[in-house]
């Protein structure tokens, strides 16, 4: 142990999913190791045992800790004196619950990609298991980690925007404009398959992030939700576009719009929040800028700050909470 009881070694991470052709597995591993406090140590990288072991070299996983299944991995790791500290789940949605349940019951901490489980019943059961075992369990809604998103949250919770009246959140993509799933594109195939993705396609995949962003920034609890989903690409069994209208407990209204069929859009996650004293706007594709608006005042741009300011801004910027900087334009 190090100073103040902290570990004097890196956390050992086990990855479930993330094998050849995957997307989010590599994202999880990079994010976990970004601050050099974790290392991918073990993995069950695919439901195919051959692929699972073949992909281990991509993460520098030693051959003896590259497992053919998550069951094998949990059983073997539990017996090791240097067992992994946490399990990161990056599988298609339908496998989140069985892997999370097995890992928690084996005493391993868990980081799970969203959604938490396939349905509410599984989620309630998993919550009971986590409470009983006492493991640490996290669900990745990664966009809440941006500095300016946290700046926005602090401003709302500190009352700088007054009472919140409206939230408009969007997540717009275009990659499923055609039936990529019919071309054996791995990411499209499972995301458009109800047996692996769940009851929702576009809304389950990306609208959840847009909703979560509003929930995180404002802290508001929904009271009523009405949602209209649409499948525009013929033959696709799950939605590729949708809009939800939300009434919050404080009387505020919200909308969430998500699309995966809008030409030329990549990961355009965008949110606006209106309060009685001011409004904010943030866009994921320009994550280091938060726009603040108040009637009768110049618009303000909050940036990450933390370094020397460009000379042209030296007279119009002043420090703001959380290390952000504020410029008037």
Give the pLDDT confidence of 146-166 residue by residue, as tens digits. 999 999 999 999 999 999 999
Rg (CA), the chain: 22
**Whether pLDDT at 75 is above 90:** yes
Closest CA to 133 of 111, 113, 112, 106: 106
Task: Return the exposure string of 9-22: e unless at least 16 CB atoms fall within 10 Å of the residue's CB, then b.
Answer: eeebbbbbbbbeeb
Residue 319 or 187, more confident: 187
Average pLDDT over residues 133-137: 97
Average pLDDT over residues 227-234: 97
The pLDDT of residue 310: 41
Q: What is the pLDDT of residues 7-20, one digit of tens each?
A: 789 999 999 998 87
**Cβ atoms 279, 161 nearer than 8 A:** yes
**Mean pLDDT taken over the chain:** 90
The pLDDT of residue 304: 87
Three-state DSSP state, 278: coil
**Cβ atoms 304, 324 nearer than 8 A:** yes
Q: What is the pLDDT of residues 194-226, one digit of tens each?
A: 999 999 999 999 999 999 999 999 999 999 999
The pLDDT of residue 319: 36
Domains of the chain: 3-140 (3.40.50.720), 144-328 (3.30.360.10)
Q: Read out DSSP for 16-68?
A: ES--TT-SHHHHHHHHHHTTSSEEEEEEE--SSHHHHHHGGGGGT--GGGB-S
Residue 100 structure tokens? 């999370």
Among the residue ranges 16-20, 105-109, 312-316, the one predicted with the least confidence is: 312-316
Question: Considering the entire predicted model, what is its pTM?
Answer: 0.83
């Amino acid at each position: 142990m190090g100073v103040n009881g902290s570990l004097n070694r890196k956390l050992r991470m086990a990855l479930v999913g993330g094998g050849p052709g995957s997307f989010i597995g590599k994202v999880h591993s990079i994010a976990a190791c970004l601050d050099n406090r974790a290392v991918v140590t073990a993995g069950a990288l695919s439901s195919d045992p051959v692929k699972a072991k073949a992909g281990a070299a991509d993460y520098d996983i030693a051959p003896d800790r590259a497992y053919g299944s998550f069951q094998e991995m949990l059983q073997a790791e539990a017996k090791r004196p240097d067992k992994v500290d946490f399990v990161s789940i990056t599988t298609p949605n339908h496998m989140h619950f069985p892997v999370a349940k097995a890992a928690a019951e084996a005493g391993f901490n868990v980081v799970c990609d969203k959604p938490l489980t396939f349905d509410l019943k599984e989620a309630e059961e998993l919550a009971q298991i986590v409470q009983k075992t006492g493991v640490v369990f996290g669900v990745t809604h990664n966009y809440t980690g941006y500095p300016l998103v946290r700046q926005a949250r602090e401003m709302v919770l500190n009352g700088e925007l007054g009472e919140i009246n409206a939230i408009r959140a969007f997540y717009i993509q275009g990659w499923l404009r055609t039936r990529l799933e019919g071309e054996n594109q791995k990411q499209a195939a499972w995301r458009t398959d109800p047996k692996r993705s769940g009851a929702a396609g576009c809304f389950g995949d990306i609208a959840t992030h847009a909703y979560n962003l509003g929930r995180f920034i404002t802290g508001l609890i929904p009271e009523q939700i009405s949602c209209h989903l649409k499948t525009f690409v013929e033959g696709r069994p799950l939605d590729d576009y949708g809009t939800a209208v939300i009434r919050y407990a404080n009387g505020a209204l919200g909308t969430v719009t998500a699309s995966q069929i809008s030409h030329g859009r990549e990961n355009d996650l965008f949110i606006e929040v209106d309060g009685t004293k001011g409004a904010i706007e943030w866009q994921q594709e320009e994550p280091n800028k938060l726009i603040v608006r108040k009637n009768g005042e110049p618009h303000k741009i909050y940036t990450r700050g933390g370094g020397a300011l460009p000379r042209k801004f030296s007279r119009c910027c002043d420090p703001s909470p959380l290390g952000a900087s504020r410029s008037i334009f």
